[in-house]
Amino acid sequence: MFRILAFFHGRRLDREFLLPGETSLRLGREETAEICTGWDPQISREHAVLRTFPAGIRLTANSAAANPIFVNGEVTTDTVIRPGQSFVVGGTRFEVQMTADGNSDQPSDVRVRQLMIDRQHLSQVQFSDAPKKIEVLTSLPAVIRQSGVERDLHLRLCSLLLAGIPAADGAAVVELDEDGNARVLQQEQRFSRGTPMHPSHRLAQTALLQQRTVLHISDHEESSTEFTQVAGFAWGFCTPFSDGSDNRGLYLTGRGEVNPGESSEQQLHADIRFSELIADIISALEGQRRLERQQSGLRQFFSPPVLETLGKDFDTSLLSPRECDVTVLFCDLRGFSHRAEIEADNLTGLLERVSMALEVMTDQILRFGGVTGDFQGDAALGFWGWPIASEDAPLDACRAALAIHREFRRFQSSDNHPLKDFDTSVGVAHGRAVAGKIGTRDQVKVTVFGPVVNLASRLEAMTRDLRVSLLIDDNLEKLIRDRLPVSEGRIRQLLPVLPYGMDRSLIVSELIPPINEYPLLQDQHLRDFETGLQYFQQGDWEAAWRYLHSMPADDRAQDFLSMLITKHDRRPPPDWDGIVRMKKKS
């Protein structure tokens, strides 16, 4: 049963409203309303309806009500109010409390005192057996760390509680189910003989709903009464704790008689204080374990600087999928299918090398502040611009692409390196996409959706036709051409192209290492190539041919255009519009 107290402009009114289980009541100034609020003119005649259920009260505002309903400072029209919470209408605050009803766990001839425990009062309580309790407390972290399945943890907690609280005859771990009903997850008794322990569901429900320790003391003679739920037990209390949810508690009960004002009741307060210390330690350690699991999971996807920016207690809504500008990098191993055929008898060894190659890719993505997305066979996906937007995101994506290329060139120059015969191709594109995480609290998968992802993949595939290793789209080229230091990388426009199956044409560009790493191409070579490209677009293929053939013989990027010009006898087709249409995905 619930009751509602009313406070008008801060002053408690001399009346309260009782709400029995599974009922519906009207709130308003109408005289016939079950909760009549004639004292407050800001409350409408029929302002809201309250429906009770075991876990709380559903509050639904009348759409015709003149003034809003506030819960925790926010306007609401339909919400659940639990014991200990309140709502405000006009100048009145309504506070919801739980009270005992006719469905108690004890029969009618047993009087039960219910006490709400004040933590401030408990802080002044002294332990009479401090060494024993300290011994139990110091063993608690190891118990939590070494427990495997959840049931094992609950069993060990019950044993610790009985070891630390000698007056207790039984201990249990209880929780509230989705319907707000209490149930026992694990229970242990000190002695197997005698009256079996049946934790009070009402006591557990009250404590867990109100999120505070509740103590029940029964005034009875043990031999005179058969209890429904706590037969033969004189007292019981329940202390909530958090292990990832706010619906579990530690339950203790005992047979020792407790009289008001005497030392036995003071001893109970000391035992309650001890249980709350255990609850606090469990909550702290479980919170740390959740944080470690979360951080471990996030480290797969986010670089340390991103994690540091998010902070340890970051708002997980930052990871929710949302539309934003991103730079997407798609990196693939060249010739993997052929390599798989050659090493068909050693697929395990091949898998180890592929895993090593993917690790190189992801290391560089994370090193430059990117987010690692899905793996697709022998390919890795990374992206920048989410969860934290940055003006340097396009530059960092290009730096990661150049670093991946650099690493694999280094492997190729080493005779004994396991990745010596692997090569990579990279496509990088910039555009609008939806990025975010999907999954559970402990397991998360990060992904990105949108045309820009498909474009990055197409660019990577196109590197084979254009005889280059790193391709970027025109959106990205415009963002970085004047910002990328030549000491880090250079850019060369390669081709105006309409990728197969796409509607938008673009000019693709090559990302080239700095001159000290790749002296084959001098800066003048890059300028001459782009001049030849302009002539190619304009239809002057004779001039384009001359500029393209001023490139070093080992520069393969000229091959595609040169072959196309040669195929048409250095004259553009009659319908030439300056765009090369790719005939396949590559």
How much is the pLDDT for 110? 45
Per-residue pLDDT at 225:
34
In whole angstroms, give the CA distance from residue 274 to residue 164: 8
Higher pLDDT, 188 or 246: 188
pLDDT at 194: 53
Task: Report pLDDT for 108.
Answer: 41
What mean pLDDT comes out for the span 132-155?
Answer: 75
- Averaged over 482-492, what is the pLDDT? 96
- The average pLDDT across 157-175 equals 89
Task: Decide: residue 7, CB within 10 A, 0-12 exposed, 13-18 middle, 19+ buried.
Answer: middle
Closest among 477, 496, 472 to 564, alpha carbons compared: 496
pLDDT the model gives residue 458: 92
What's residue 13's pLDDT?
Answer: 85
Which segment of 171-175, 219-223, 310-314 scores lowest on mean pLDDT?
219-223
Predicted pLDDT at 111: 53
Instruction: Give the ranges where 300-346 is alpha helix by DSSP (H).
Output: 304-310, 336-342
Judged against a pLDDT cut of 50, whether residue 368 lies above it is answered with yes
Mean pLDDT of 193-200: 68
Alpha carbons 317 and 395: distance in angstroms, whole number: 27
Average pLDDT of the chain is 81
314 pLDDT above the threshold of 60 = no
Taking only the tens place, the pLDDT of each residue in 76-99 is 999 988 877 888 998 888 888 776
d(CA 352, CA 418): 10
Listed residue (183, 468, 139, 494) closest to 282, CA to CA? 139
Instruction: Kindly state the average pLDDT of the residues 374-398.
Output: 86
In angstroms, the CA 437 to CA 301 distance is 10
Contacts of 169 (CB under 8 A, 6+ apart): 189, 190, 191, 197, 233, 253, 254, 255
Lowest mean pLDDT among 163-172, 223-232, 415-424: 223-232
Quick one: average pLDDT of 518-537? 95
DSSP track, 445-495: EEEEESHHHHHHHHHHHHHHHHT-SEEE-HHHHHHHTTTS-TTT-EEEEEE
Domain extents for the chain?
A: 2-98, 111-291, 300-484, 486-586
Q: Taking residues 523-545, report their average pLDDT.
A: 95
Answer whether residue 222 shows pLDDT above 50. no
* CA 586 vs CA 48, 253, 389, 492, 583: distances in Å: 65, 73, 32, 21, 8
The pLDDT, as a whole number, for residue 312 is: 56
Task: Out of 220-224, 256-260, 382-386, give the one with best mean pLDDT.
Answer: 382-386
Instruction: Name the packing angle between helices 150-164 and 130-146 (round to 10°).
Output: 170
Range with top average pLDDT, 74-88, 120-134, 336-350, 474-488: 474-488
291: CB partners within 8 A, 6+ apart: 312
CATH class held by domain 111-291: alpha beta
Three-class SS of 378-433: CEEEEEECCCCCCCCHHHHHHHHHHHHHHHHHHHHCCCCCCCCCCEEEEEEEEEEE
Quick one: average pLDDT of 559-582?
A: 91
Predicted confidence (pLDDT) per residue in 21-55, tens digit: 778 899 999 988 989 998 998 999 999 999 988 77
Rounded average pLDDT over 425-431: 96
> For 4-16, what is the mean pLDDT?
82
Is the predicted pLDDT of residue 339 greater than 80, yes or no? Answer: no
Which pair of structure tokens corresponds to residue 167?
Answer: 């007056």
Q: Is the dihedral of CA 43, 49, 52, 55 positive or negative?
A: negative
- Tell me how many degrees the CA angle 253-256-261 measures, rounded to the nearest 5: 105
pLDDT tier at 120, thresholds 50, 70, 90: low
Confidence band, pLDDT 50/70/90 cuts, at residue 388 = confident
Q: Determine the average pLDDT of the residues in 465-487.
A: 95
**254-307 pLDDT, tens per residue?**
876 554 444 566 778 888 888 888 888 887 776 666 655 555 555 555 655 555
Q: Determine if the peptide bond prior to 83 is cis (ω within 30°).
A: no
Q: How far apart are CA 31 and CA 33, in angstroms?
A: 6
β-sheet bridge partners, residue 3: 18, 97
Q: Is the pLDDT of residue 493 over 50?
A: yes
Radius of gyration of the chain (CA): 36
- pLDDT of residue 514 exceeding 60, the answer is yes
Share of residues in the chain with pLDDT > 70 (%): 76
Contact by Cβ (8 Å): 266, 273: no
What CA–CA distance (Å, rounded) separates 150 from 313?
A: 25
- pLDDT for residue 340 is more than 50: yes
The sign of the CA dihedral 157, 158, 160, 164 is: positive
| Residue 428 confidence (pLDDT) above 80 | yes
Among 3.40.462.20, 2.40.30.10, 1.50.40.10, 3.30.70.1230, what is the CATH number of 300-484?
3.30.70.1230
* pLDDT score for 264: 61
pLDDT of residue 307: 57
pLDDT of residue 489: 96
- Give the pLDDT band (50/70/90) at residue 101: very low
Fold exhibited by the domain 2-98: Tumour Suppressor Smad4 (2.60.200)
| pLDDT band at 226; cut points 50, 70, 90 | very low
Q: pLDDT at position 543, please?
A: 95
**Of 195, 189, 218, 7, whose CA–CA distance to 95 is shortest?**
7
